[in-house]
Amino acid sequence: MLYFGLVFGVVAGNLAAHRASIDPVRTYIATIILIVPALAGARLLYVAAHWQMYRRDPRRIWNRREGGYIMYGGFPIALLLSVPLLAALHLPFGAFWDVASFTILIGMMFARIGCLLNGCCAGRPSSAWCTLSLPNAAGLWRKRIPTQIFEAAIAALLLLFAMAVWHSMPFSGALFLFVTLGYSGARFAMEFAREQEPTGSVFGIAQVISVVAFLSSLSTLTVFWRH
């Protein structure tokens, strides 16, 4: 499902590049290059968050059969590396990330369905009306909040929002900031519905990063909108 998400996401990004009148070939090259460190960063953040599990057997870190990614780990790496890369390819920074929003959201929709099938990112057990009988990553079946479905739905709603408002954005890059703002806010709330690991922390690493991403996007939008 991650593979399908990447394929369809790249296709969507290419179509969006045509609509944005930026070079679709260079956009495609930049996207393919940035996917590699993004996936590596997402994996490494997952490993760091579960280091107790991996420190005894470091060979498991790159075991693709296990899965395990935290998207936030790839986000800052790709963002930083894109600065010199986009400059070298003569692509506008803001316009590229507006286009990349479509790639990311479509990829997220497919990836969350993959999480549902794999049992990872499972919701906490609950007796609420919206629960489904689902397993977690350990194969333990319970009536759970289907957080993977909810997150895929959030990505779909953000995608529809992006399609509707893209050409009315106040400046280049604003769409990406709005999408980041919406996702980070929703992700912060969604973490409370996920099955929590016994770490003793009030907030998980994803919630901390969500707060940073939300405040960063909000402040950047405010500053650039005023200008």
CA 108 to chain centre: 6
Instruction: Tell me what pLDDT residue 141 has.
Output: 94
At 134, give phi and psi (nearest 5°).
-140, 155
The per-residue pLDDT for 200 is 46
Q: Domain-by-domain residue ranges, the chain? A: 2-166
Of 187, 174, 175, the closest CA to residue 214 belongs to 187
**What is the pLDDT at residue 170?**
92
The Cα 122–Cα 147 span in angstroms is 6
Note the pLDDT of residue 199: 52
List of E strands, the chain: 132-135, 141-144
Task: Compute the distance between CA of residue 181 and CA of residue 178 in angstroms, rounded to an integer.
Answer: 5
CA proximity to 69, closest of 29, 28, 37: 37
Rounded to a whole number of angstroms, the CA Rg of the chain reads 18
pLDDT at residue 198 in the model: 54
Residue 201's pLDDT is 52
- pLDDT tens for 42-63 read 888 888 877 887 888 887 777 7
Using alpha carbons, select from 37, 34, 161, 38 the residue that is nearest to residue 88. 34
Letter for the amino acid at 32? I
Query: What's the confidence (pLDDT) of residue 31?
Result: 96
Residue 197 has what pLDDT? 65
Is 0.85 surpassed by the pTM of this model?
Answer: yes
Burial of 205 (0-12, 13-18, 19+ CB in 10 A): middle
- Mean pLDDT, consecutive 10-residue stretches, the chain (227 aa), reads 94 94 95 94 83 80 73 88 96 96 95 90 89 90 94 96 94 96 94 74 77 94 86
